[in-house]
Amino acid sequence: MSRSLIYGAVTKHAAVLSRFGAQAGFFAREGIDLTVQNVFGGPEMAAAVESGAVHIGEIGTPPGLTAIGEGKRIRIVGSSLDRGLAFFLLTRADIRHWRDFKGKTVAALSRGSCGYWYLRDILAQNGVDPDRDVTFRHLGGDIDKQLELLAAGEIAGLLSGEPYLSLGERSGVARSWGAPQQLADVPSIQWSIQIAGQDFIEREPVLLRDVLEIIRQTAHYVWRNPDEWIAFYRKLHNVDEEIARNSIKHEWPYFHFDGQIDIPGLERALDLQYRIGSTSRRLSRDEVLDLRYQPRPSARAPEDGAPDLPATGAFQL
């Protein structure tokens, strides 16, 4: 008998392991009918997971913690593939100095999303008041039009990931200023998490555990089958092989392949959310995290997080 599950992605390119696993038949093989549903924005995803409209969702840690601090009945149950801070500041080619942002519009996926909070902090530390000097535009479903918006001059910059970095730089539309830690004193945190509603956690513990395990095994599979991963990436993003390879190289140091939460990184995220006022008090780890349903550790888990891995490990580019 098939078991059904709705897995949430904050953009149509997110939740890549779930998309790959569904396409490859890994979930169906275990009797799970998994549907990936797009819910644009972190706060929106948290609400969908709490309501049960989505059973498991991938979300940035900052909006996830904010939602829990606001009383939403959700918990962190695992780490997404991009456990590290896989963001880069992309700007229009004519934005050369921090002062050039003043009077301009900058963008984020949604108010309260990871890119929103980090960009505010980065701007503030570089002399740009995020409330007075810039206007924020929340892109939602238009997040995939970011390079068009940069080219048209409608936005001056945003924190973004791949393949937009590689596409923007190759076309000359945008340039990367680097990762957040290169631009300001911002913490390295557990970046992207898997969340589930407390009702679903208690009602479907076996299904939850099985789905997380299949996602982890999918991560192991793509690590060992790079050609399939590149082909999938090209189709998902509608890019050529050069962009796919460059994108994966840029993202590789931030990937984690075994679903385990970076506990020190989560603690730094808890500190950050309290410092910037997103939570009214400093939440404890036990209030936000449910470790019972994390994938079981594997003795054969691939290495991860190493910048030189594509040149020396199983993933040959």
Name the residue ranges covered by the structural domains of the chain: 3-84+189-312, 88-183
CATH no. of 88-183: 3.40.190.10
Compute the distance between CA of residue 74 and CA of residue 43 in angstroms, rounded to an integer. 12
Residue 92 CB-half CA count within 13 A? 18
Instruction: For residue 291, give the 3-state DSSP assignment.
Output: helix
Residue 107 has pLDDT above 90, yes or no: yes
pTM above 0.85, yes or no: no
Structure confidence by residue, pLDDT tens digits, 170-204: 999 999 999 998 999 988 899 899 999 999 999 99
Residue 76: exposure state from Cβ atoms within 10 A (0-12, 13-18, ≥19): buried
Give the pLDDT of residue 237: 92
| Token output for 100 | 């050039």
Compute the distance between CA of residue 201 and CA of residue 212 in angstroms, rounded to an integer. 12
Computed over every residue of the chain, the mean pLDDT equals 89
CATH no. of 3-84+189-312: 3.40.190.10
Structure confidence by residue, pLDDT tens digits, 35-62: 999 998 888 999 999 999 999 999 999 8
Residue 141 has pLDDT above 90, yes or no: no
Pairing of strands 56-60, 3-9: parallel
Q: What is the mean pLDDT of residues 68-82?
A: 95
Compute the distance between CA of residue 266 and CA of residue 66 in angstroms, rounded to an integer. 13
